[in-house]
Amino acid sequence: MEKFMEKYPGEIRELRLGTEGKSAVAGGQNTLPFHFFEGRPGQLKLALEITDSEPYDWTLSLQEFYANVKSSPVDWARKSVDEYGAEMIFLNLNSMEKDLPAGEIAAGVKRVAAAVDVPLAVFGLGEKEKDAAVLPVVAAACSGRKLLLGPVLKENYQEIAAAALEHGHAVIAQSPMDINLAKDLNIRLGKFFPLDRVVIDPLTCAAGYGLEYAFSTMERIRLSAIAHDDKTLQSPIIARVGKEAWKTKEAMQDTGKGILWEALTAITLLLAGADIVTLRHPDSLRRVREMAC
């Protein structure tokens, strides 16, 4: 049987997040997704998304589901971990849309980070100027906590990554569904930032809404890293599924369909090579865990 197994030259770097007693590892595999029989499997992380202020842009059913905690990010994070079993919290900084002072936003992030015993990812708006103004302040306020900060874009990677480097965090390098753009951004980061603290975000689509394109992009990145030993792409991949799944008309019309849509999208992208998946509904997380972990 051994002679029929593939051996690959490349491997994905291990990403360690969180402080001692709260740490977790993603990535680390030296084989293709779910090819456990051929090599060392990677460590997958399933995160639940929360927001740092009222999630006004979430579907009504999700807002009702989280009604008792949605106004308190600390309580929401604790419930996601203690009751729903989240392995990571993915905190969306939607308060940035209100143009609150960066220090106030960072103080809120620090409270969430202190409240849970799992790693914390902190995600801005994807607007280069606002993110570059706020995320470095968050990095400083949470110095030493080994957060995962993003998104880092080609237009602002120097400011955000420099702050992450100084304060011991990892970053999410985002590029728009193109392996060459993902590679280029990692090369730029690698000139001053350790690539074992980088996560690739090639962007994500939901089932029925461009999932095939997202799948092929992730698959190409993973094949280049593992099968072709491209060291610039040997970073874990994140799939931010929750937002994409719950803005589909199917999810907005029916909560049960939304849960299935989210879980199906997540499983599909895990097959493509995702190492970290963010979800919004705990039932989706449970279904994905049962199938993939």
H/E segment holding residue 290: helix 282-292
Other Cβ atoms closer than 10 A to 244: 24
* Category of 170 on φ-ψ map: left (φ > 0), alpha (ψ -120 to 50) or beta: beta
pLDDT digits 0-9 by tens, 121-169? 999 999 999 999 999 999 999 999 999 999 999 999 999 999 999 999 9
Phi-psi region of 108 (alpha: psi -120 to 50; beta: other; left: phi over 0): alpha
Task: State what percent of residues in the chain have pLDDT above 90.
Answer: 91
Global pTM value: 0.96
DSSP string, 23-34: -EEEE--SSSTT
| In contact, 106 and 141? CB cutoff 8 Å | yes
pLDDT in tens, 78-113: 999 999 999 999 999 999 999 899 999 999 999 999
- 239 and 278 in contact (C-beta within 8 Å)? yes
For residue 19, the model assigns a pLDDT of: 86
Contact 201, 174 (CB under 8 A): yes
CA separation for the pair 238, 275 (Å, rounded) = 6
**52: helix, coil or strand?**
coil
For residues 163 and 184, is the Cβ–Cβ distance under 8 A? no
**pLDDT of 285 higher than 70:** yes
Confidence at 24, pLDDT banded by 50, 70, 90: confident
Res. 2 pLDDT band, cuts 50 70 90: low
Cα separations in angstroms, 254 against 59, 62, 283: 10, 11, 14
Report the distance separating Cα 35 and Cα 42, nearest Å: 10
The average confidence (pLDDT) of the chain is: 95
Coil, helix or strand at residue 149 = strand
Query: What would the pLDDT profile of 226-239 be if each residue is shown by its tens digit?
Result: 999 999 999 999 99
Amino acid at 122: V
Rg, C-alpha atoms of the chain: 18
What confidence score (pLDDT) does residue 4 get?
67
Contact 148, 137 (CB under 8 A): no
Domains of the chain, first to last: 44-287 (3.20.20.20)
Confidence of residue 37 (pLDDT cuts 50, 70, 90): confident
Contact 285, 85 (CB under 8 A): yes
The interaxial angle of helices 211-226 and 255-272, nearest 10 deg, is 30
Quick one: what percent of the chain has pLDDT higher than 70? Answer: 99
3-state SS assignment for residue 240: strand
Q: State the pLDDT at residue 72.
A: 97
At 3 the pLDDT is 61
